[in-house]
A = this chain, B = another copy of it.
Amino acid sequence: MPTSTTTTSEVDVLIIGAGPAGLMACNALAKAGINVRIVDKRPQKIGCGHADGFQPRTMEVLQSYGLCERLLREANQMHLAAFYNPNPVTGGIELTDRTPDIPEPSARYPFEALLHQGALEDIFIDSMKESGVEVCRPIMPVSIQIVETEKDLTDLDAHPVRVVLKRLDSLEGQTDTEVVRAKYVIGADGAHSWVRRSFNIEMEGEQTDYVWGVVDMIPDTDLPDIRNKCAIHSNHGSCMLIPREGDKVRLYIQVGSRDALDPTSGRLDKDQMNPEKLLNIARKAFAPYYLNTPKDIEWWTMYRIGQRVAARFAVDNRVFIAGDACHTHSPKAGQGMNASMNDTHNLAWKLVHVIRGWADPSIMTTYELERRKYAQDLIAFDKQFARMFSGKIKTAGNEDGDVSVEEFTRSLELFSGISSGIGIIYQQSAIVDTRHQSVAKNLIIGKRLPPQLLVRAADHRPFELQDLVPSDTRFKVLVFTGDIYEPIQKDRLAKLAVKMGANDAFLKRYSPGGDIFAAFDILAITMKKEEKMVVRHTDLPDLFRTHWSKVFIDTKPLRGMLGGDAYSNFGIEATGAVVIVRPDGYVGMVAPFERIGHINAYFAQFSK
């Protein structure tokens, strides 16, 4: 007899979709102690194929959650990009250049990491387990609505989003549904996002006729650069090689649109193609190097490049879409998974602050502001990249190509900031205040805090500055003290401590329950004017050395590491500066010692 059961539950945040975007959000929220739930319709996480490239900024973000060490243990690293182009005489390809894969000079991890998506999902899933959260699957959402009368954003206790979920593994004839009442919902449910379609959000942009095949395998070839990123432009089509974990390589192979699109519908027709056909095309591009068909093809697919951004990323600032649900681009540029995780990294801390009652809900508008702009920039980049890569190369013997070797290389360098994820600059908003940029000329406000090696004053142990500002939901206050033994500066610093420690200044004003360290961490970075100078952490005002581990010196480590020159790298003078770093690692504000009032005003805009 068919039965049906319906249960009802409440949750602070419901996440639909347990891919990279959903898992990044869920891990961040779970670690912050938020009541969060994540559901996915797949019965299991994926085992192979799919996204696999980690950009430098993504590694920095994973590191900020303590997850990069494992990624680096399991992943392959891609340091060099090699370019193969037709030899004008023989017509076969030859190596024309090798360049660093990541030209971005400030990358902490100056390479790409490669690891299949399932392994990444495991890293998140294991981390979430420590907070007692697991992915519920296979579960499909069947309806979603925001209850008009309850959507008032100022009501912290309201659960205005109603989602009906259905179990997909119920016994035959049985229907298990559940009504979830959520404060917030994140739709991280992929390119065909059900959440997006439920709210009729348009995807703006276009499809192209560029079609590519992808094959994952352990290759048998004599191409010397098979373990580097390899861009092959031949007279017989283009290939791109991505060396992966183990001895595997992902091969991207350009396919003529006639061979891949259904002539009547214009749609991609995967049935026309198979791995052997794809390898035959690649083989022609590889000549004079051989490429034998391997015993096993681990995974393969076909895709047509589309470049689209969702018209909105949020509905009533109660439902948010993230990841592939709001932007699609060509996998070859390696951006999809990275942009997705960075979407929810941006979103999570804002939700945490609002749910805890620390931040005004208006802060949520900055999610769309910051991430949609980035997605649009990314699409612009991707368009140019796809055109470059899918076009024919100009050579001495073949002047009628679409793009020259130099043009291609230059465009790659030009976009290194965006492709590495490091070039993102969030625009002026309630949480990005650029007015005192001149106090730290090279520490771009709205951009991520760059890596910098510092030495801890109390024990001379070297530390990476980025590791001192983890994604722990707190704002970090970096006090660049200048030379604490210079009498005038010492006096200014003492006055700064008094002002910043005042009851009406931001530290105490926005400290939940009077505990400064719930919402803030304070680090001091002192100057060492000469090699021989002895810096004692005990010589700082108490507020700037709340523990011996909180004081650092801008100097080189004793041995074996690069470092030092933080003040000059950041463009900070000996008069010092106060730098506010957002919980996601982006510089939110900079101020001179005498403008603490402006920092108070910054926090007043969004803090409660």
Contact = CB atoms under 8 A, between A and B. Distances in A.
Contacts of A487: none
A412 to B, nearest CB: 15
Contact of A548 (B98, B227, B536, B539): B227
Interface string A63-98: 000000100000011111000000000000001001
Contact of A79 (B105, B222, B226, B461): B461
A461 B558 contact: no
Contacts of A98: 534
Nearest to A222: B538
Contact of A224 (B77, B95, B538): B538
A222 B459 CA distance: 15
A459 B95 contact: no
Contacts of A537: 224
Contact of A560 (B69, B77, B562): B562
A548 B460 contact: no
A520 interface: no
Contacts of A100: 558-559
A458 interface: yes
Contacts of A69: 69
Given A222-B538, A534-B98, A538-B222, A458 B227 contact: yes
B559 A77 contact: no
Contacts of A111: 461
A164 to B, nearest CB: 45
Interface string A457-480: 011110000000000000000000
Interface string A96-123: 0010100001011011000000000000
A228 interface: yes
Interface in A27-46: none
A561 interface: yes
A459 B78 contact: yes
A557 B102 CA distance: 13
A171 to B, nearest CB: 40
A534 B226 contact: no
25 contacts: A76-B459, A77-B461, A78-B459, A79-B461, A79-B557, A79-B558, A80-B558, A100-B558, A100-B559, A105-B559, A107-B559, A108-B560, A110-B558, A110-B559, A110-B560, A111-B461, A222-B538, A224-B538, A224-B539, A227-B458, A227-B548, A228-B459, A560-B562, A561-B562, A562-B562
Given A76-B459, A227-B458, A228-B459, 18 more contacts: A69-B69, A77-B461, A79-B558, A80-B460, A80-B558, A95-B534, A108-B560, A111-B461, A222-B538, A224-B536, A224-B537, A226-B548, A227-B459, A227-B548, A243-B459, A247-B548, A560-B562, A562-B562
5 closest cross-chain pairs (CB), A and B? A227-B458, A227-B459, A224-B536, A79-B460, A80-B460
